């Protein structure tokens, strides 16, 4: 692990903006540089709702994992596109609800590897592991995950905001391959940016992101995002703004919608 971490540190360029660090900045984390803050602020000027959206997606992750661990009885989680750790990471939420939960984080980014030790904490009853792999190679992800997870038992596959970086139609085949490797009773937790509240701002944001980042992304329509759930049993309330997926009780009605659609579905 030490050798891998040292190699990853050597690859980090503090003068080039980095998508994981920008996202960490929006979430209120500490792992970012001046260039990330400058680009993050520029993107936020193009789409003022992006910080709210980022935090709503994170809150959706917490509610989704808690639901699966407490109500659906899921004890295994495969979180792809982990990004940098902040608060209430998947393993923390899952193991708070079910201490025996086993979690595998996946990311291809060398920067995330330098922070893997922060992720590799666990309850004594459970397991938390990190593997470095690319979403574009789902077979390698499944092979790596099998070292920690029992793929004959249900797994929650978590893909939040990461499939937008697969900008062509191969995204559906990739997600399908991952689901094919998981048994009946597994769940897909999925969300991605969409033009829901302020379409022009979201389009401007993606253009700004793609001009400044080495990891381009694409917006998909509601229908295109719904396609990732084909063949699965979508849980209520279906595909919605992530802020409105089973929100916590609020004193003044429903939360505002954000430009990010998500849902959870069960594999029959």
Euclidean distance between CA atoms 170 and 163, whole angstroms: 10
Report pLDDT digits (tens) over 169-211: 999 999 999 999 999 999 999 999 998 888 998 898 888 878 8
Query: Residue 224 is inside which H or E element, if any?
Result: helix 222-226
The number of residues making up the chain comes to: 268
Average pLDDT over residues 20-46: 76
Residue 61, pLDDT above cutoff 80: yes
Residue 89, pLDDT above cutoff 50: yes
Report pLDDT digits (tens) over 105-160: 998 877 777 777 777 789 999 999 999 999 999 999 999 999 999 999 999 999 99
Which of 112, 108, 110, 107 has its CA nearest to residue 80? 107
Euclidean distance between CA atoms 266 and 133, whole angstroms: 25
Encoding tokens for residue 171?
């995204």
| Angle between the N-to-C axes of helices 50-70 and 34-46, in degrees from 0 to 180, rounded to the nearest 10 | 100
Q: Other C-beta atoms within 10 Å of 55: how many?
A: 15
pLDDT band for position 11 (50/70/90)?
Answer: low
Token match 């997606």: residue?
57
Report pLDDT digits (tens) over 205-218: 888 878 877 778 89
What pTM value is reported for the model? 0.88
Q: What percent of the chain has pLDDT over 70?
A: 90
Residue 248 has a pLDDT of: 84
Query: Residue 24 is inside which H or E element, if any?
Result: helix 19-26
């Amino acid at each position: 692990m030490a050798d891998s971490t040292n190699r990853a540190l050597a690859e980090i360029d503090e003068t080039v903006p980095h998508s994981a660090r920008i996202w960490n900045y929006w979430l209120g984390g500490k792992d970012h540089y001046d260039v990330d803050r400058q680009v993050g602020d520029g993107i936020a000027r193009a789409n003022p709702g992006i910080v709210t959206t980022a935090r709503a997606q994170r809150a959706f992750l917490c509610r989704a994992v808690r639901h699966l661990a407490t109500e659906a009885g899921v004890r295994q989680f495969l979180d792809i596109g982990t990004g940098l750790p902040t608060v209430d990471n998947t393993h923390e939420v899952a193991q708070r609800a079910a201490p025996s939960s086993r979690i595998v984080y996946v990311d291809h980014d060398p920067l995330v590897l330098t922070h893997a030790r922060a992720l590799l904490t666990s309850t004594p009853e459970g397991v938390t592991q990190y593997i470095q792999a690319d979403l574009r190679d789902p077979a390698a992800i499944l092979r790596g995950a099998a070292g920690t997870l029992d793929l004959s038992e249900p797994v929650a596959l978590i893909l939040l905001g990461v499939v937008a970086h697969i900008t062509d139609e191969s995204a559906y085949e990739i997600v399908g391959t991952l689901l094919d490797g998981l048994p009946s009773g597994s769940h897909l937790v999925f969300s991605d940016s969409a033009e829901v509240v302020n379409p022009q701002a979201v389009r401007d944001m993606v253009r700004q992101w793609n001009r400044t980042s080495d990891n381009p992304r694409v917006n998909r329509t509601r229908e295109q995002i719904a396609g990732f759930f084909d063949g699965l049993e979508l849980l209520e309330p279906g595909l919605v703004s992530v802020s409105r997926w089973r929100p916590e009780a609020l004193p003044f009605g429903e939360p505002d919608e954000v430009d990010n659609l998500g849902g959870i579905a069960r594999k029959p």
